[in-house]
A and B are shown apart, each in its own frame.
Chain A
Amino acid sequence: MLKLTDVVTYYGPIPALKGVTLEVNTGEIVCLLGGNASGKSTTMKTILGIVRPHSGTVEFEGKRLDGLATGEIVRRGISLVPEARRVFGRMTVWENLAMGSFIRRKEPASEIDQDIERVYTLFPRLRERAAQYAGTLSGGEQQMLAIGRALMARPRLLLMDEPSMGLSPAFVDQVFDIIQTINRQGTTILVVEQNAAVALSIASRGYVLQNGQIAVQDSAAALLAADDIRRAYLGEDQA
C-alpha cells in the first residue's frame, strides 16, 4: 500500500533521512521505533509532502506521492494524527471534526454528519464536549479528538505520530485499544512510537530507525524478543 524507497531528506544542509526504505501492506499495523531525532517524525512529514525528499520515491497504492502538495496526498487517502495532538484550540470539538472532513466538503452534509456520529460512537466523551473549545480539553480528550479528526477524512492509511505521548498509562492502553478497533474496521496504520512495548504488542511488523536509517526490521514478535531492541527501547528492567 505504502512504499518508501531510498528516501533521503534534508533540513537545510543537515541530512534527516539517509536512504529510508520501508513498506506498509494493506490491513497492517506497522510500528516505526527509534530514539529522539532518529527521523521518525521526518518520515511522517515526508510521506505527507510537508518535507520534500531530496531523492528516493514515496508510493501509495502504486502511485508516486513525492512532489505532490500535502492537500493532494490527504485527498488520496492518507491522514495524520500528529505528535502533541495539535487540535485547533480556538475551535469547538465539532468544528475540529468538521475541519477533518475539509477535503470532503463537496459531499452532502448528511454523509459528514454520519461520520461525526461514528466518531462520537468511538469516543462518547467527544459528544459530551461537542460545543466546547478544543483548547480546554484534557490531554486524553485532545488525543481522542486528534484521532477522530483524522478519521473524518476517511483515510485508507492512518499515520500516527507518538499517540501515547503525555498520556496516563491507563489512557495509553485505551488509545491502543482504539487503534486496534480502527484497524479492524479496515484502516491500515503506520504508528511512530517511543513506547515500544505497547506499540509492538498491537503491530504486525516493525522498523527501527537510527540516525535517519532503518537499522532493523522484523515482525513485531521478533522485535519484542530481540535482546538489543529490548535494551535500547524497552529498558533493561522491562526485558
Chain B
Amino acid sequence: MSDILSILPQQLVFGIALGTVYGLIALGYTMVYGVLFMINFAHGEVFMIGAYIGWGVLAALLDAKVGGLNPIWVLPLLLAPAMLCTGGLGMLIERLAYRPLYVRGATRLGPLISAVGASIFLQNAVMLTQGARMKVYMTNFLFPRTWRFSIFGTSISALLIVMVGVAGAMMWGLHVLVQRSTLGRSIRAVAEDREMAAIMGVNVGQVIGTTFFLGSALGGAAGVLIGLYYTQIDFFMGYSAGLKAFTAAVLGGIGNIRGAMLGGLVLGVTESLAVTFINPAFKDLVAFALLILTLVFRPEGLLGETLPDWKKV
C-alpha cells in the first residue's frame, strides 16, 4: 500500500496532464453539439490527422538536420500547421458531410451516419497515404528524459508541464473568446436560438463553420501533444481517443464548454487512479463505466442542464 501511495502524486500528475488533453479534444465535440445538436464522430480522426501533421513537421526538421531544436520555437512550429490544417479540415467536413443534410432538414440520424462515414473515410485515407505502420515521434530530441523537475517530492517531466500549460492556455483562450468577444457571443447566440441569431444579423452558416474550425484546431493541437507524450501514432488512434473525449464531453455536460474541460480532467484523473489502485488493463473499462454511470444517473452531466426534447441526441 505504501508503494502505491508513493506513486500516487506522480499518477495524479499524469492524470491531470492526460485530462487536459482529453478536455481539449472534448471541446470539439461539445462546441459542435452546442451549435448543431449533433455528435461529430469524425472529430477523433481530425485529432489523429493533427498528430500526423505534427509528426510530419518534426520528421522534416530532423531530416533537414536542423540544429538547436528547442521546444520554445519547435512546439509552435508543430502546433500552428496542425491547428490550421485540422481547423480547415473540420470546416470542410461540415461543408461536405453535414451541411447538405441539415439545410435540407434531415433527421438527426442523417448527419450522425454521415459523421461515421467521414470518420471511416479519413482513417482509410491516412492509412493508404501514410501506411498502416505506426509512426514514431522523436520526442527525445525536443524533451530529453533528463528534463525533469521535482515538486513536493514528485518528479515531473518537462513535457508533462508543457502539455498542461499548452492545453490549459488554449482552453483559457477559448473561454475568453467565447465569453468576451463578438464572435463568441454570436456562437452562443446561434447555440441558444439560431433563428433569433439570424434576426440579429448573424451569418449562421459562417458561425457554424467557425465553430468547426475552432473545435477541430484544438483537436489537432491535442493530437500533437498526445503524439509527443505517447511517441507512437497510427491511423487508428483517433478512435479510442475520440471515444474517451466524447466520454469527457458527456461527463461534463455535452454542449457546455466548461463542462468539457472539467469532464476531461475528471476522466484523466479517474483513469490514472484506476491504473494505480486497480490494474492498468482496467483503464478503459473504468473510463467507459464512468460514461455509462453518467448516462444512467446524471445524463445532463456535471455542469450540464436538462435539455428540451428537440435538443436531445
Contacts and interface: CB of A to CB of B under 8 A. Distances in A.
Contacts of A88: 188-189, 192-193, 196
A74 interface: yes
A86 interface: yes
Chain A contact patch, size range: 20 to 34
A64 interface: no
Contact of B195 (A50, A75, A90, A103): A50
Interface string A112-144: 000000000000000000000000000000000
A208 interface: no
Contacts of A102: 182, 185-186, 200-202
Given A50-B198, A102-B186, A86 B193 contact: yes
A48 interface: yes
A215 to B, nearest CB: 28
B195 to A, nearest CB: 6
Contacts of B195: 50
A71 B203 contact: yes
Given A99-B185, A105-B182, A153 B192 contact: no
A99 B189 contact: yes
A186 interface: no
Contacts of A95: 185
B188 A74 contact: no
B201 A153 contact: yes
Q: Looking at B193, B200, B202, which has the most chain A CB atoms within 10 Å of its CB?
A: B200
Nearest to A70: B198
B296 interface: no
Contacts of B64: none
A89 interface: yes
B198 A71 contact: yes
Contacts of B182: 98, 102, 105
Contact of B192 (A69, A75, A89): A89
Nearest to B184: A95
Given A71-B203, A74-B199, A74-B200, A91 B189 contact: yes
Nearest to A153: B201
Given A74-B201, A90-B188, A91-B185, 17 more contacts: A50-B198, A69-B203, A71-B201, A74-B199, A74-B200, A86-B193, A86-B196, A88-B189, A88-B192, A89-B192, A90-B192, A91-B188, A91-B189, A99-B185, A102-B185, A102-B200, A153-B201
Q: Which 4 A-B pairs rank lowest in CB-CB distance, beginning with the nearest? A: A103-B201, A71-B201, A74-B201, A70-B198
